[in-house]
Structure 1
């Protein structure tokens, strides 16, 4: 990894052993780093036909550390997000193919060639496995991965907020970068603090020292997911893709009846009955709009109308306080169910979900004072 554009921090960490790392590979990674291998030799001989005490010697060396860290995107699809959404997660799998337990230091980069950068600081969470691969309240805020055992993997969420100004189709690349480091402790000590290990140094250019555990980086030799350098780093890219609702609102009115003309070319004179239609349209190609709520204050000189008790019999049947419907051309259809109320001259209604490509309406009536 040649550059790290943004060093992103959180506030705590937790031992992987405490959460239960998941096995990642069936293959044995070989003898553990630090294992002492002793080879003894004994040489027997005779002098004048008489056996002498055998001469012995031994050779001891320790197994070196083959460092291989692999990070992959957890799935094959982009992560869909909405403008101004908070705590949105892109998810990665971090695997230790080193013949030793390691810590993994975490940082991130964002590309300058995509459509937007996330807002604020990216934080990292260790998935607790309750809902595997899904960011939820049970996951633990970390700054690094503590004590990742060899031949195991964990799921890490990079979590960020989405700017308000983005539009449908905008993309943001987030690169999670891991760096292999020595494991600094064995879980959570009594103080509740973990010990973050230091990043490994590359000893491949040094002469072998049989008494030391030396590091050999092999992370460049892989399945195409490496960052291309044997340096103890590995990374993967996940993508936020904006899927926004594109909502437009139009409000129209029509005169249903007046006390002079009835229903034949009625006019907006005192006593006339007026029907309002509020149409909420969600353009195709975006996200569904949920929790769509309407509030409409009836203007002065109008009074909410919902009864035929003293009204003209020629006015179409009362539709209730607020009625959900659809739009056909320029015609508002009152073909839904009542979903609202009127109080103190304010009409409120809840359209619920307006799906992509759909139009929903709210309809109510007033009388001209």
Structure 2
């Protein structure tokens, strides 16, 4: 006869085992630092009397699995004009780490291999900076979007980042290749830029009560600027000077104002006053023409009417009104040349210049 009969029913048969845990599931995974406890419940009998007890509790903390993505968040390159200030390119940073993180932002033009982006990279943007979209509207707002690091980005959250720079006036400039270089950093203190994360030595065994840092980013740009599992990410783009010319046309017309004989329908008689109108039109929308200057040699058998040059007349048309613009116009008597400096002619805009001659 067996005096004491003990039946341990663990993990098989009719075992009664209960798990007691505290993990919280997220898309990015259970939050780093979460403690997971597990205790087994044991049932057995002694001399026909049911008994229960619990195992000791096994505990460990969830480690930090660092992962995130960086993408260019716009179709194609950013089209720019020579001399343009505040040109913008949009990127998006998404945190898929199982913890809230800061991200350090580095606008880069130096580590981009030829051929990575189609087109020839032959100039650098000036004063290139990275700014975080503060109000989440997806549009760069100067004076509003001023933060230059991503602060406290929650798991599975995304934020827009803008590269902003100035285009030089170099006539040969066609394309500037750029990248947004992002480094994961420590979170936990709002408004303060965290230090770049340092991964745990993978040669060490897992410590149950320590949050190890493991880089799990698997991106690789194939040029060595960004490799897998380095806690860094990059996305690439280009500022492109697509327009080096505009559809600028000048239409010239002549109108006889008076002939000294007829009061109605004056004719082109000797002594008649004729007004020339030069209508300059920039048909290329969004692209201005700068330094626009019109020159016109008055024709033979005519004499320039002193002080008759008028520029920038209302509505982009020549009228009989309009005061001379002495600071922007001139007449060279030796070369018989009229000069009118318009300056900048905006895309889609027109400006008129007029002057008068008498027929000899």
TM-score grouping bracket, smaller chain normalisation:
0.5 to 0.7
CA distance in 2 between counterparts of 1:236 and 1:117 reads 19
Q: 1:342 to 1:336 in 2, by over 3 A?
A: closer
- Tell me the secondary structure at the aligned position of residue 39 of structure 2: strand
Q: Equivalent of 2:205, from 204, 207, 210?
A: 207
Give the drift of 1:125: 1.3
CA distance in 2 between counterparts of 1:152 and 1:345 reads 57
Which residue of 2 is the match for residue 15 of structure 1?
none
Q: 1:280 to 1:112 in 2, by over 3 A?
A: farther
CA distance in 2 between counterparts of 1:200 and 1:288 reads 47
Q: Equivalent of 1:173, from 167, 177, 180?
A: 177
Question: Within 5 Å, which residues of 2 pair with 1:310-325?
Answer: none
Q: 1:53 to 1:355 in 2, by over 3 A?
A: closer
CA distance in 1 between counterparts of 2:359 and 2:308 reads 10
Question: Within 5 Å, which residues of 2 pair with 1:186-335?
Answer: 187-188=190-191, 194-220=192-218, 227-244=226-243, 246=245, 263=268, 273=273, 275=275, 278=278, 280=280, 288-289=287-288, 302-305=305-308
CA distance in 1 between counterparts of 2:47 and 2:312 reads 119
Q: Equivalent of 2:187, from 173, 183, 187?
A: 183
CA distance in 2 between counterparts of 1:180 and 1:359 reads 51
Question: Within 5 Å, which residues of 2 pair with 1:42-53?
Answer: 42-43=41-42
Q: Which shows bigger deviation, 64-73 or 116-125? A: 116-125
Computed over aligned residues only, the root mean square deviation of the Cα atoms, in angstroms, reads 4.8
Give the drift of 1:365: 1.4
Q: 1:341 to 1:290 in 2, by over 3 A?
A: farther
CA distance in 2 between counterparts of 1:49 and 1:255 reads 124
The structure with higher relative contact order (CA 8 Å, sep 6+) is 1
Structure (1 or 2) with the larger CA radius of gyration: 2
Aligned residues, how many? 304
CA distance in 1 between counterparts of 2:48 and 2:324 reads 119
Which residue of 2 is the match for residue 94 of structure 1?
93
Give the drift of 1:218: 2.0
Give the drift of 1:229: 1.1
Q: 1:221 to 1:42 in 2, by over 3 A?
A: farther
Q: 1:368 to 1:211 in 2, by over 3 A?
A: farther
Matched, 1:121 2:127: yes
Matched, 1:365 2:356: yes
Structure 2 gap ranges (5+): 1-25, 115-119, 261-266, 330-339
Which residue of 2 is the match for residue 142 of structure 1?
147
- Tell me the secondary structure at the aligned position of residue 342 of structure 1: coil
CA distance in 2 between counterparts of 1:73 and 1:322 reads 43
- Tell me the secondary structure at the aligned position of residue 36 of structure 2: strand
Which residue of 1 is the match for residue 264 of structure 2?
none
Task: Map Cα deviations across residues 44-79 of structure 1 (whole Å, 9 max, x no partner).
Answer: 566677788846311110011111110111111211
Task: Give yes or no for contact 2:180–2:235 (8 Å, CA) kept in 1.
Answer: yes
Q: 1:367 to 1:199 in 2, by over 3 A?
A: farther
Task: Give yes or no for contact 2:67–2:95 (8 Å, CA) kept in 1.
Answer: yes
CA distance in 1 between counterparts of 2:47 and 2:94 reads 63
Q: 1:251 to 1:346 in 2, by over 3 A?
A: farther
Task: Give yes or no for contact 2:106–2:130 (8 Å, CA) kept in 1.
Answer: no
- Tell me the secondary structure at the aligned position of residue 235 of structure 2: strand
CA distance in 2 between counterparts of 1:368 and 1:112 reads 66
| TM-score, reference length from structure 2 | 0.65
- Tell me the secondary structure at the aligned position of residue 307 of structure 2: strand
Q: Equivalent of 1:342, from 321, 324, 337?
A: 324
Give the drift of 1:92: 0.4
Which residue of 2 is the match for residue 19 of structure 1?
none
Q: 1:210 to 1:174 in 2, by over 3 A?
A: same
Which residue of 2 is the match for residue 57 of structure 1?
56
CA distance in 1 between counterparts of 2:157 and 2:234 reads 17
